[in-house]
Chains A and B, each alone.
Chain A
Amino acid sequence: NAGVTQTPKFRILKIGQSMTLQCAQDMNHNYMYWYRQDPGMGLKLIYYSVGAGITDKGEVPNGYNVSRSTTEDFPLRLELAAPSQTSVYFCASKQGASSYEQYFGPGTRLTVT
């Protein structure tokens, strides 16, 4: 199993550009999450999904969109990138409501200039 994979690892965007951060898991997990980690801070939840076709907002959803058309994939879309979106983005997944552990991807470092 590859676990949770994220692409790209690094990206530099200009202000106003758009991009999609990819996240995939091969563990057949139902729950998936997107977090951002600003320098010196903890992780904050952007969006989450409890299954294909179901998504919901977390603490900091503004400026982002997600979709979940398959169990495996959970892409995060940034529209009109802003410097405030400079961060490290983590995707995570877990089996379901009764499972304890989240499995994290390696992260994507995004810089908006």
Chain B
Amino acid sequence: AQTVTQSQPEMSVQEAETVTLSCTYDTSESDYYLFWYKQPPSRQMILVIRQEAYKQQNATENRFSVNFQKAAKSFSLKISDSQLGDAAMYFCAYRSLGTGNQFYFGTGTSLTVIP
């Protein structure tokens, strides 16, 4: 089974600054998808950004971007110009292309934004 590791249980950032959340994964598959989800205190899971493994170009969504290093099996999330509303748990997730497209989640990073 695939595993996803987030080694930073907690991170903090000053408002308007940049922060990078780390994620590594282990897989024997050559093609897959990677995601970052945000979970605010409401518990709702919100998709932040996705990356297809076959694409070399790093995905970007407004203030959110990723650094995808396929050979190193690393998938970090950079949040630029951090806002108070960015405070949440962030989960890295791996999606298999096998039957059912199973998702595997990391343990999460709790991000605090300091005014």
Binding site for B on A (CB under 8 A): 31, 33, 35, 40-45, 48-50, 56, 58-59, 88, 90, 92, 94, 97, 100-102, 104, 106-107
Tell me the number of A-to-B contacts counted with CB atoms below 8 Å.
Answer: 55
The closest CB in chain B to the CB of A33 belongs to B103
Give B1-18 interface residues, CB cut-off 8 Å to A: 1, 4, 6, 9
Partner of B102, one of A40, A45, A100, A101: A45
Contacting residues, chain B, for A49 (C-beta < 8 A): 100
Give the complex CA separation of A93 and B71 in angstroms. 31
Contact across chains for B103 and A107 when beta carbons are under 8 A apart: no
The answer to whether A42 and B45 have CB atoms under 8 Å apart is: no
Chain B residue nearest to A94 in the complex (CB): B101
B1 touches A90 (CB 8 A): no
Q: List 8 A-B contacts (CB under 8 A).
A: A31-B100, A31-B101, A42-B6, A42-B105, A43-B91, A50-B100, A88-B43, A102-B45
